[in-house]
Amino acid sequence: MAGRLKGKVALVTAAGHGIGRAIAKAFVAEGATVWATDVDVARLEGIDRAKRRKLDVLSDKQVAAFAEKVGPVDILVNAAGYVHHGTILECDDKAWDFSFDLNVHSMHRTIKAFLPGMLEKGGGSIVNIASGAGSVRGIPNRYVYGATKAAVIGLTKAVAADFIRKGVRANAICPGTIESPSLDDRIATLAKTTKQPVDKVRQAFIDRQPIGRLGKPEEIAAMAVYLAGDESSYTTGQIFLVDGGFAL
């Protein structure tokens, strides 16, 4: 079904790697005009036919200025995020503040900046990347991460409810454990701190997946394409688990 997003303009944050990158590529393949953004613009190399730009979603000024430059979009994908490892006892104020700033406040910034353009156009689709950790399921050593992702779901539902009669839809994807550079970094860090082999730590992540494997970024991107396009025009305020049965 090529061309499912033809004629639509999309903005994807954190498109430099992992889920965000896979979504940006999938959107381009489906015919959208894609603004692929990341705080490190070098990571955007290889996303062919996308408009690659630097964007720091932690900056109110940058996000507002970027929205002014880009103009109205049809699709906004908020993929920026950070996974803190630890319980409440390992979460200091700095980790708490940074996690909420990147995982939640960044979405507040982008939605506030781009929503007026969607309303001007008469509609749009917002896709937020939440997680299977949070309000869906409590995960050990994901204290502040789970709190932020629960907040993302609440934020998504609130936006959906407020603008349901204005043509703007908002939905959240809740991935399970997905293969990504971010996961590789977390595995390496955990292996170092626990003094275990990297392969053993990675296998532990795999073993906790009911489906027996890690997810692929492209599997999240497929859901994002559906939620971004007109096929999901009757769907808003919902969460979509793509987690290999992790929440069962």
The answer to whether residue 61 is domain-embedded is yes
Residue 104 covered by a domain: yes
Element (H, E) at 17: none
Exposure pattern of 40-53 as b/e (b: 16+ CB <10 Å)?
eeebbeebeebebb
Same domain, 66 and 123: yes
Cβ-in-10-Å burial (0-12, 13-18, 19+) of 19 comes to buried
Q: By residue range, what is the domain housing residue 52?
A: 9-177+216-242
Same domain flag for 100 and 142: yes
Whether 210 and 231 share a structural domain: no
**112 and 43 together in one domain:** yes
Domain total of the chain? 2
Phi-psi group of 209: left, alpha or beta (phi > 0 → left; psi -120 to 50 → alpha; rest → beta): beta
3-state secondary structure at position 229: coil
- Domain of residue 148, CATH code: 3.40.50.720
CA–CA dist 229, 143 (Å, integer): 34
Q: 202 in a domain, yes or no?
A: yes
| pLDDT of 1 | 56
Instruction: List the catalytic residues.
Output: 145
One domain for residues 16 and 124:
yes
Q: What residues contact residue 234 under an 8 Å CB cut-off, 6+ apart?
A: none
Same domain as 190, residue 86: no
Say if residue 26 is in the same domain as residue 131: yes
For residue 2, being part of any structural domain is answered with no
Same domain, 199 and 95: no
Whether 98 and 86 share a structural domain: yes
Closest to 81 measured CA to CA, from 182, 11, 10, 178: 182
Would you say the C-alpha torsion 128, 134, 137, 140 has a positive or negative sign? Answer: positive
Q: Identify whether residues 134 and 165 lie together within a single domain.
A: yes
Consecutive 10-residue runs of the chain (248 residues): their mean pLDDT? 91 97 98 98 97 98 98 98 95 98 98 98 98 93 97 98 98 94 88 91 92 97 98 98 94
